[in-house]
Structure 1
């Protein structure tokens, strides 16, 4: 499995208060968590590989009904924000590990 400690350390440095409390990640298939999301350039795309497994979690936001989704492998960390059932997903951070 991926280096969870390294992923968590990096996740905790992003400056997103809700993500500083994440202590564990779950193995989830890319095909399950690969959301079509709005990228910083305004385009919509999927950035994960459906055939890979990712260390992942979902965290509810404290100030509204949206959630953060985290997905990472040994090379990258992606953080999304989305509504119910992954609706209106926006890429918040995409970082090389």
Structure 2
């Protein structure tokens, strides 16, 4: 589907039923990874790329951002079990990103970044 907003494209092509199916599929996909200390995902939100586009430090100390600030993604944040850190994930039709980070997005680490 592409475009700037997964929800908008879904509504244009198949309405609310399409969007609800997309969300269920995404929840199932994320939960299938069974990431240690990550509670099951039960709900999703539309999130601004500018808000969730964290800067990651690569092993060679370069810093990168993986998302597009102008897009709207589907995702959520959950608290990591027995930790003061969180897991966050975002997805669009092309990529899925799951990361772990501290308060206010501090010290983010990529857990999964994959083409869908």
Query: Smaller-chain TM-score range?
Result: 0.7 to 0.9
Q: 1:52 aligns with which of 63, 71, 76?
A: 71
Mapped to 2, the partners of 1:69 and 1:15 lie a distance apart of 14
**Which one has the largest radius of gyration?**
2
Structure 1: stretches of 5+ with no match in the other structure: none
In structure 1, the residue corresponding to 2:34 is in which secondary structure?
coil
Alignment TM-score, normalising by the size of structure 2: 0.74
1:29 aligns with 2:48: yes
Structure 2: stretches of 5+ with no match in the other structure: 1-6, 8-18
Whose RCO is larger (CA < 8 A, sep 6+)? 1
Q: Which has the higher helix share?
A: 2
Q: Which runs of 4+ in 1 moved over 2 A?
A: 17-20, 38-44
Q: Shift of residue 38 of structure 1?
A: 3.1
Q: Deviations over 1:56-90 (max 9, x none)?
A: 11110112100001111111110010000000001
Number of residue pairs aligned between Structure 1 and Structure 2: 97
RMSD: 1.9
Q: Which has the higher strand share?
A: 1
Q: Deviations over 1:16-63 (max 9, x none)?
A: 155452111100110011000234776431101101000011110112
